[in-house]
């Protein structure tokens, strides 16, 4: 869902205010994300930076705190932040990992898991609290969830077990090759755009499974290809296979519930794009049924 025009105007106004306050010089046009704007800028000494402002949502309130915890190790360097305005000034990075072959991207994402999944920091929001809310939404839809009931039941049961404990690690929340960029000065790949939680590192497996979907379809056996990606990530990052499998199912069913709830809030029928998204998430959950740790 794109940023509404009034919210987009507010983001542009925030950019203008921050450029003046932080003594920055804009270069090029802002880059629009789903719920953010990134303005290329020069700082006082002429170094190129990225000024990012985002729509204030629960899902992004942990971004600046997470970047502060990482301190540029395996992640984009945070130079300045205004959490109230969801604004961060970041180092400028290069091309995304999406330009690399899938095998190389999986290897790099797995390596980064070992760097960024640090001991949980108390200042970060709890992933488990958010998941509890999302599971409640999923349960409330009951038979209105357009997915096999056995997958919904599995997600509710597994999800409640997964969050029955204490968050242990820093979690990105949306870790995929589009959120990994090249840092030229240190010659390494680093992550960007964390949702930022304290939670379970196995939660971070799912996004690399649902990205590059056209490649999965081209393969002809998407279930097998999904499991190949799954094992590459779990083995490379040394994650708990059972928890990672369960998180994929949980996240897939939550994704479907969000699609349905968005349509209800907007008082519309499901679109063709919604149907495609639902089918992809059902395919993910189905692929996980053959993962038996």
Question: Mind listing the domains of the chain with CATH numbers?
Answer: 5-91 (3.30.200.20), 97-290 (3.90.1200.10)
Question: Residues with Cβ < 8 Å from 43, sequence gap 6 or more?
Answer: 22, 23, 24, 49, 79, 89
pLDDT given for residue 57 in this prediction: 84
Q: What does the pLDDT read at residue 8? A: 81
Query: Quick check: 145 and 256 in contact, CB under 8 A?
Result: yes
Which residues lie closer than 8 Å to 77 by C-beta, 6 or more apart?
67, 71, 90, 91
Q: What is the pLDDT of residue 69?
A: 97
Two structure tokens written together for 76? 């984009």
Confirm if 135 and 156 have CB atoms less than 8 A apart: yes
Q: What is the pLDDT of residues 50-99, one digit of tens each?
A: 999 999 888 889 999 999 999 999 999 999 999 999 999 999 999 999 99
DSSP H helices, 125-270, are 127-141, 149-162, 207-210, 213-219, 222-237, 241-265
Residue 85: CB partners within 8 Å, gap ≥ 6? Answer: 14, 18, 53
> How distant, in Å, are the alpha carbons of 21, 238, 240 from that of 103?
44, 17, 21
Q: What is the pLDDT of residue 4?
A: 63
pLDDT digit string, tens, across residues 91-131: 999 999 999 999 999 999 999 999 999 999 999 999 999 99
pLDDT of the residue at 91: 98
Name residues whose C-beta falls within 8 Å of residue 146's C-beta, 6 or more positions apart in sequence. 256, 260, 270, 278
Q: Among residues 34, 36, 22, 44, which one has the least CA distance to residue 89?
A: 22
| Ranges under pLDDT 50 in the chain | 1
92 touches 197 (CB < 8 A): no
Q: What is the pLDDT at residue 1?
A: 44
65 vs 72, 83, 85, 86, 124, CA distance in Å? 12, 8, 13, 11, 6
């Amino acid at each position: 869902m794109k940023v509404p025009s009034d919210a987009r105007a507010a983001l542009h106004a925030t950019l203008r205010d921050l450029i003046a306050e932080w003594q920055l010089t804009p270069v090029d046009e802002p880059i629009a994300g789903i719920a953010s704007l990134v303005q290329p800028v020069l700082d006082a000494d002429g170094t190129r930076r990225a000024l990012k402002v985002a729509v204030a949502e629960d899902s992004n309130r942990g971004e600046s705190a997470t970047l502060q915890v990482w301190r540029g190790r395996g992640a984009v360097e945070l130079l300045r932040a205004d959490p109230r305005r969801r604004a961060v000034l970041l180092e400028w990075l290069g091309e995304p990992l999406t330009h690399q072959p899938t095998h190389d991207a999986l290897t790099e994402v797995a390596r980064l898991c070992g760097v960024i999944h640090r001991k949980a920091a108390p200042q970060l929001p709890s992933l488990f609290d958010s998941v509890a809310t999302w599971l409640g939404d999923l349960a409330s839809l009951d038979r209105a969830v357009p997915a096999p009931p056995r997958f919904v039941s599995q997600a509710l049961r597994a999800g409640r077990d997964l969050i029955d404990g204490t968050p242990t690690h820093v979690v990105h929340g949306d870790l995929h090759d589009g959120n990994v960029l090249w840092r030229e000065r240190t010659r390494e790949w680093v992550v960007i755009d964390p949702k930022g939680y304290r939670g379970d590192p196995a939660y971070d497996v799912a996004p690399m499974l649902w990205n590059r979907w056209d490649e999965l379809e081209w393969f002809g056996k998407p279930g097998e290809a999904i499991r190949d990606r799954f094992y590459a990530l779990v083995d490379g990052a040394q994650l708990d296979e059972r928890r990672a499998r369960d998180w994929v199912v949980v996240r897939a069913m939550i994704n479907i519930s969000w699609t349905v709830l968005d349509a209800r809030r907007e008082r519309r029928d499901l679109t063709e794009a919604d149907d495609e998204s639902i089918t992809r998430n059902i395919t993910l959950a189905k692929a996980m049924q053959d993962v038996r740790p």
